[in-house]
A = this chain, B = another copy of it.
């Protein structure tokens, strides 16, 4: 993979110019894009910005995020050739920091679950996950040092785990979702993909304007959560979580087995009601005017969603609020928790984008989640874990993920 921190260090030392760093990206894309198909649109004439801390850095942006200079097609023929007026604020922030948008990365239709054409860089017959398929695959394949995606269920952490990329789903609304095609307004969260946790910390610091130091708390208290309400994981995911706990413990963390409050199970079960009720409204125009062109799995989900009454949604929101209050109590005792990033390695075949069942609760809680990739491997495919900190403690999530990543690298 192309490391953002490493590229910038080499630019800083004069070993690379911004132009030659940028060329590395273009060469990597030329080599791998043919088999991976991570991009919905590529700007082959893109050049470094010539200024700012990210001068020379090429970024891939998920194709539900508005870009003024490039099409934004939402993974759907309904938006074929569509050109928004303005850049989304997260794109503006990247450009202000000096980055160059090299292209738009593939997305499942409207960031739902119908698979894209993108392949998993660690096993071409496997799904890269979704919905941020292109961003995860582009980073995992070493084509770009940074990519932007979004998560409503598990659309950042799951594809990152499947593609062996580090990724952060930050605290809810740390990065604005303005100019991002809405699926569910209380859930949609903009996230970042990069080679490692230090790359994520640097990028998030620049884009969010908040410091993200990587020093972990002294003697961190970390809870291991198995999310029994979401069912059993595959053995590889269980092994990855066990290994993460062991490595963190060896790195000086106190490890606690945590049984989440019952409100977590209720909130987890309520996620779908919230997501689908909001999607019914967010995609009302598409549903009313282009039902036949909506991708099949999403179309069926929207058909069903039409029947969700407002009262069921309001009840589900109350369950979510209760779980958020309980999460504050849980995290009063803990610096972070670790849990599965996905049920196992990327499934074989292209019929599905995998399963977000270990991600949904945390999207609903709005807590920052970081995927630490490749804790174990199975058949060449990486299996990650996610490190989760309390709301607004994105730096803590990154620092503890960094601790784990270093322990893994040293082991």
Residues of A with Cβ closer than 8 Å to B? 68, 79, 82, 85-89, 91-93, 95-96, 173, 176-179, 182, 185-186, 208-210, 278, 281-282, 284-286, 288-289, 309-311, 314, 392
Which listed residue, B91, B178, B310, touches A185 by the CB 8 Å rule?
Answer: B178
How far, in Å, is A284 (CB) from chain B's closest CB? 4
Can you report 8 residue pairs joining A to B where beta carbons are below 8 Å apart? A68-B285, A89-B284, A92-B284, A92-B285, A95-B288, A176-B182, A179-B182, A210-B310
Whether the pair B282, A89 counts as a contact (CB closer than 8 A) is yes
Most buried by B among A68, A92, A311: A92
How far, in Å, is A177 (CB) from chain B's closest CB? 7
Task: Beyond A89-B284, A93-B284, list 6 extra A-B contacts (CB 8 Å).
Answer: A68-B285, A87-B284, A92-B281, A173-B185, A178-B182, A314-B392
Total identical chains: 2
Which listed residue, B89, B179, B281, B289, touches A93 by the CB 8 Å rule?
Answer: B281
A96 surroundings in chain B (CB, below 8 A):
284, 288
CA distance A173 to B317 in the complex (A): 12
Query: Of all chain B residues, which has the CB nearest A72?
Result: B85
A285 surroundings in chain B (CB, below 8 A):
68, 86-89, 91-92, 179
CA distance A88 to B288 in the complex (A): 12
A91 surroundings in chain B (CB, below 8 A):
285
Whether the pair A281, B82 counts as a contact (CB closer than 8 A) is no
Which listed residue, B92, B209, B281, B310, touches A178 by the CB 8 Å rule?
Answer: B281
A288 surroundings in chain B (CB, below 8 A):
92, 95-96
Query: Of all chain B residues, which has the CB nearest A278?
Result: B176
Query: Of all chain B residues, which has the CB nearest A79?
Result: B85
CA distance A285 to B67 in the complex (A): 10
A178 surroundings in chain B (CB, below 8 A):
182, 185, 281-282
Whether the pair A310, B92 counts as a contact (CB closer than 8 A) is no
Query: Of all chain B residues, which has the CB nearest A173?
Result: B185
Query: Of all chain B residues, which has the CB nearest A318?
Result: B392
A286 surroundings in chain B (CB, below 8 A):
86
CA distance A376 to B341 in the complex (A): 61
Given the known interface contacts A93-B284, A177-B185, A282-B176, the answer about A82 and B82 at a Cβ–Cβ threshold of 8 Å is: no
How far, in Å, is A274 (CB) from chain B's closest CB? 12
